[in-house]
Amino acid sequence: MESLTLVIGNKNYSSWSLRPWLLLKQFGIAFDEARIPLFQADSAQALREASPSGRVPVLRDANLVVWDSLAICEYLAEKFPHLPLWPAASDARAVARAVSAEMHAGFSALRENMSMNCRKHLPGRGRAPGVQDDIDRITAIWRDCRKRYGAGGDMLFGKFSIADAMFAPVTFRFVTYGVDTDPVSAAYIKAVQALTPMQDWLAAARVETEVISQSER
């Protein structure tokens, strides 16, 4: 048994769960995984018992319970200071936090209308008012980060960081809903999709048996 346990939802649907899971995997941090299938008869009860907010993801570290995807990432960055979970340079780290926070609180039109469903292909669906504005802003963030800070690799700040973990669910959404992007964004999506843990997550999502109708989300 590892000291860290990450409680997540369905891999096919729980975009917020993917973020800290991917971060842990990318940096080779050992953890136990606990899964609460969402939108089932007993989900609400299980979530209330596992999480102060009634939501996943939740990280347990001995007696400490940390919830919320971004707060978990910050906790891990502090717990493993020798690992570059955030970019090392102060300016880059400040911008990485800004784009991560913007993703964390924003893009509600995209999140509502293009909910994560990573094993599906639904091109053209989800084109509601406001969605294109969200797509435009997200891809502008990606182009700006890649241009200003991306030189050392193919992630937003060169090497993989928390910022990439925060946007990873969006790359699944763009693939599922067939969103066309500029070449820089398309290359970034491809690089994120190619990460081994992303492929593992998708493979696990494909064998999950729960099906949630769009109207329940």
Footprint of a copy of itself (CB under 8 A)? 52-53, 64, 66-71, 74-75, 78, 90-91, 93-95, 97-98, 100-102, 104-106, 108, 137, 141, 144
The structure tokens listed for 13 are 């649907």
Could you tell me the smallest distance in angstroms from the CB atom of residue 41 to a copy of itself?
A: 20
Given the complex with a copy of itself, which of 97 and 173 has the nearer CB atom? 97
**Strand 4-8 vs strand 32-35: parallel, antiparallel, or unpaired?**
parallel
Could you tell me the smallest distance in angstroms from the CB atom of residue 16 to a copy of itself?
A: 9
Given the complex with a copy of itself, which of 65 and 202 has the nearer CB atom? 65
Could you tell me the smallest distance in angstroms from the CB atom of residue 196 to a copy of itself?
A: 28
Given the complex with a copy of itself, which of 94 and 194 has the nearer CB atom? 94
Could you tell me the smallest distance in angstroms from the CB atom of residue 18 to a copy of itself?
A: 15
Given the complex with a copy of itself, which of 102 and 154 has the nearer CB atom? 102
